[in-house]
Amino acid sequence: MAEIIVVTSGKGGVGKTTTSAAFATGLAQTGKRTVVIDFDVGLRNLDLIMGVERRVVFDIINVIQGEARLNQALIRDKRVDTLAILPASQTRDKDALTKEGVERILDELSKEFDYILCDSPAGIEKGALLAMYFADQALIVTNPEVSSVRDSDRILGVIQSRSKRAEEKRPPVKEHLLVTRYDPARVEKGEMLKLDDIREILAIPLLGVIPESESVLRASNTGTPVILEPNSVAAEAYKDAVARFLGETRPMRFLEPERRGLFARLFGGRAA
């Protein structure tokens, strides 16, 4: 039986798709058979972030409507052989996504995969609700910024009351906090919410902190999950988060600003 993980945030632009791509790739690299599903019907982007946009033939809506088989719509990753991507539809109406259809797909994927990641769209509309409905675990992606923290709190409430586990009064969805775009230098100057503040407000277990990093944009430019980027602090932080998710204990890194001398400031670039 596969473990279903939703990657969600409420707010847009905080790094859900970046996280979905990185986390799925990281899990697959440990040998876990992993599939990542784009739930953002009409505005798909996971295919671009994963670099498979030219290979999309069928999508989740084609499968739900019986126009293609699941295996035809799955795109097998060429870099990590235990990884697959199920793209969202770009042209169809959001209403085509149904609870029954999603359940059927998840059941079928459960037979072949160990982990199913659901990349949620922003907001709390149908796509976001369906992405979280069947989840066993949730990665809550949060930026150190007031509106993001508030929206994360809102989505936590939705998960706790409207997920299948909540409706069936089973043990609740296991929640993990993943803070992204964290800038320790700005935190030190008092310009950005501290990690401890976010943890205190949201009060869910911390899985990882991804520092603000230039490599995230570089990775998206080339269609590479950022976890595969060499010499990237974001990649290292995602690897730590994946290891913690799988039960390893690893200290949090990249929480302090880089101390650099005059020479490094003159000749070094910014955080990779």
Q: Is 20 in the site for other proteins (CB under 8 A)?
A: no
Give me the least distance between CB of 184 and other proteins, in Å please.
21
Q: Is 78 in the site for other proteins (CB under 8 A)?
A: no
Which range in 23-31, 55-63, 191-199, 252-260 contacts other proteins by CB under 8 A?
Answer: 55-63
Give the largest CA-CA distance in the chain.
63
The radius of gyration of the chain's CA atoms, rounded to the nearest angstrom, is: 18
CA distances (Å), origin 195, targets 1, 65, 106, 245: 35, 44, 34, 19
Give the interface size with other proteins as a residue count (CB under 8 A).
25
Q: Is the CB of 259 or the CB of 265 nearer to other proteins?
A: 265
Count of residues in the chain: 272
Decide if residue 111 touches other proteins (CB under 8 A): no
Sole window of 13-21, 45-53, 106-114, 205-213 interacting with other proteins (rule: CB under 8 A): 45-53
Beta-ladder partners of 75: 85
DSSP result, 52-96: -GGG----HHHHHTTSS-HHHH-EE-SS-TTEEEEPPPSSS-GGG
> Which segment (32-40, 46-54, 182-190, 198-206) binds other proteins by CB under 8 A?
46-54
Sign of torsion over alpha carbons 10, 173, 228, 210: positive
Tell me whether residue 108 is exposed, middle or buried, using C-beta atoms within 10 angstroms of its C-beta: 0 to 12, 13 to 18, 19 or more. middle
Q: Per-residue contact track with other proteins, 80 to 99, x per CB under 8 A?
A: ----------xxx-------
| Closest to 232 in 3D by CA, of 186, 183, 271 | 271
Q: Which stretch binds other proteins (CB under 8 A): 63-71, 96-104, 147-155, 161-169?
A: 63-71
Q: Is 160 in the site for other proteins (CB under 8 A)?
A: no
Residues of this chain that bind other proteins (CB under 8 A): 48, 51, 53-58, 62, 67-69, 72, 90-92, 217-218, 220-223, 266-267, 269
